[in-house]
Amino acid sequence: MSHPSAAWQALLAHREALSTTRIDGLFASDPRRGPAFTFRCGGLALDLSKQQLTAETLRLLLALAAEREVAGARERLFSGAVVNVTENRPALHTALRGEEHVHVGASDVLPEIERCRERMRTLATAVREGAWRGATGEALTHVLAIGIGGSYLGPKLVVEALAPTHPGPAVQFLANVDPTAADDALAGLDPARTLVVVASKTFTTQETMVNARRVRQWMLAGYEKSALPPDSVIARHFIAATANTRAAGDFGIPEANVFPFADWVGGRYSVWSSVGLPIALALGMPAFERFLAGAHAVDLEFRSTPAERNAPLLFALAGIWNRNFLDIPVHVVLPYAQRLASLPGYLQQLEMESNGKRVAADGSPVASPSCPALFGEPGTLGQHAFHQWLHQGTDSVSVDFVVVAKPMGSDTEAHRLLLAHAAAQSEALMTGRITDNPHRDCPGNRPSTTIVLPALDAASLGALVALYEHKVFVQGVIWGINSFDQYGVELGKEIAGKIEPALRGDAASLHPATRHLLGLLQ
Ligand code: F6P
């Protein structure tokens, strides 16, 4: 990877030409700017009009995408080529939500995907209708979903966003190894009425396994007085979603309760697989399938819409413009929807674990800054916390507003107010304000994108998540990054593996800084 290429240089020159142009000035000179910079995809509207860019910027960014052969990379992604080069496998999450016959090597992946979907349907229906019961015949009213990272963030996002509209068993999540997380999760649960779903691609993740073992103990303790053998209790109460079926079996979960997925499903792309079981249990399989269908619609459009109107592509390129040409190091995601409170956390993993890398796929250093830091909060909560920094801080920042057109909840007036705040924030970030008091001045010219969901429903949510996935993919291609590995998370895990036993015994072999810290913890 080497910059500056011809397309990159053209963008650098263009940046100079555009350096004094303000976003609100672009609106003043083009009354059609709003519609001209709004793109549709999967039923969503992507409004890029408040980005600091022009039609010429998009033309040059598209030339960069062509130079980086994004279209070819996209075809390799969808067709099951080895795009995860460091781990030597495809990244085929798109196949999980489609009906196409995609081949990995000689084998068609679709039959296995369909089989898994059918098994998910059977389980979800049986639990929801009371045909699948606990070991003593009680209906299962609660689901405890154990998992972390990609085995947690996606199901949590979707269940929280949609649960109120689809009553089913109440789903709780247990992710952190902090024992209070398990204490709190188990406090209100009755073992006889609880179904436990352990989601872990590897089935070796320490946090998940510690929690799974603890919950198994709790479950068996709950049945202590019954004459039931432990195996039959586990068989009625434990489900696994994993790519490591053997480890799930070793844990004691019978094969009939193991919902496998392939190793070409990346952890942070796994919500579309059996990792989505808590969604199907909480909302019903039809809702889960609408979630898949919403994402699939975006896949089809991403794959076939001409570049000039291709929303995921343009979304990604606007991000490249902000990061690499406007030098913006921080990206903020503001869902103006309380039920999307988990979206920023979900996107932190999707974006930062995928593209938070300093080495390109070929092992050379990346030639330009890659993934910005990402954080966010639901609107309007952030307005009373960090929006001060957005409007007047010394760092530049880019923002995504995610808004929902159809009123949510029971108070239409309050929803209108929520929308008014979203629109006001994006306008204020753009226009800023100059007064005769420097303390009140806001520089404005902060670029933002607004994504409009017609309603907060399963299809729109699937479309939203897929839109971000493809944004991340395109940006990875532009930066030359393999977006599908995550070696950076391993070092800390290895060191923790040495510290934990030392905490119980001799700490002499540890780093002096760690010995010092452990001393403070005595
Ligand atoms: O945080 C690292 C990571 O490997 C993520 O990529 C993954 O989503 C998470 O841990 C959980 O992994 P698993 O699903 O294997 O338990």
The residue length of the chain stands at 522
Q: Which residue has the tokens 């990272």?
A: 149
Q: Is the pLDDT of residue 441 over 90?
A: yes
> Ligand 1: does its nearest atom lie under 6 Å from the Cβ of 93?
no
Q: Is the pLDDT of residue 280 over 90?
A: yes
Q: CB–CB of 448/463 below 8 Å?
A: no
> Ligand 1: does its nearest atom lie under 6 Å from the Cβ of 202?
yes
- 413 vs 423: CA distance, rounded Å: 15
Atom 11 (ligand 1): residue with closest C-alpha? 149
What backbone phi and psi angles, to 5 degrees, belong to 242? -160, 160
Q: Is the pLDDT of residue 433 over 70?
A: yes
335-354 pLDDT tens trace: 999 999 999 999 999 999 99
Residue 301 annotated among the catalytic residues of the structure: no
Q: Is the pLDDT of residue 165 over 70?
A: no
Which residue of 86, 197, 205, 275 sits with most ligand 1 atoms within 8 Å of its CB, as the best mutation to test the pocket? 205
DSSP 8-class letter at 385: T
Q: With cut-offs at 50, 70 and 90, classify the pLDDT of residue 472.
A: very high
> Ligand 1: does its nearest atom lie under 6 Å from the Cβ of 268?
yes
298-349 pLDDT tens trace: 999 999 999 999 999 999 999 999 999 999 999 999 999 999 999 999 999 9
Which residues have CB under 8 Å from 280's CB, separation 6+?
120, 121, 123, 124, 287, 288
Which residue of 86, 93, 176, 201 sits with most ligand 1 atoms within 8 Å of its CB, as the best mutation to test the pocket? 201
Catalytic choice (289, 301, 353, 377): 353
Whole-number Å distance, alpha carbon 16 to ligand 1 midpoint, is 42
- 515 vs 66: CA distance, rounded Å: 52
Catalytic choice (101, 493, 498, 516): 493
Atom 16 (ligand 1): residue with closest C-alpha? 200
- Nearest partner of 311 among 154, 78, 468, judged by Cα: 468
